[in-house]
Amino acid sequence: MIHRFPVRVYYEDTDMGGIVYHANYLRFIERARSDWVRNLGNDQNAMRDAGLIWVVRRIEADYLAPAKFDEELRIETEVQKVTPARLTMSQQVFRGETELFRAIVTVVCVNADSGAPIRLPAEIRALL
């Protein structure tokens, strides 16, 4: 299943050349992941209250073409692999049918107090 999330490029997202500043793509895909998790029915606030939080372990990113001020973009998120300890997904940013950015993102769960890695809860793996 592919999750699609719309984003509009605002002036604050751009650099002096009027193109999206490279680090803002990470913000865009973070918003898309948060929306995707919410749409799955996973309450991140409840997880945190239970002592678990999601953290990004690794991102591999490719910048393919620039996005510019006021463009409408679409972020697509798709699960690639789920293990007892990790979730790996692909995320792509499109303007229309043109792919602008792609990333492979690995997230894990950690204990909210100690920061120690823990297994993904079975109920979360079942949602994926």
Per DSSP (E only), the strands in the chain are 2-8, 52-63, 72-82, 87-95, 98-111, 117-118
pTM of the model: 0.90
Catalytic residues: 15
Query: pLDDT tens, position by position, for the chain (128 residues)?
Result: 899 999 999 999 999 999 999 999 999 999 999 999 888 887 788 888 888 899 999 999 999 999 999 999 999 999 999 999 999 999 999 999 999 999 999 999 999 899 899 998 887 887 77
Do the beta carbons of residue 93 and residue 99 sit within 8 Å? yes
Q: Is 113 exposed, middle or buried (0-12, 13-18, 19+ CB in 10 A)?
A: exposed
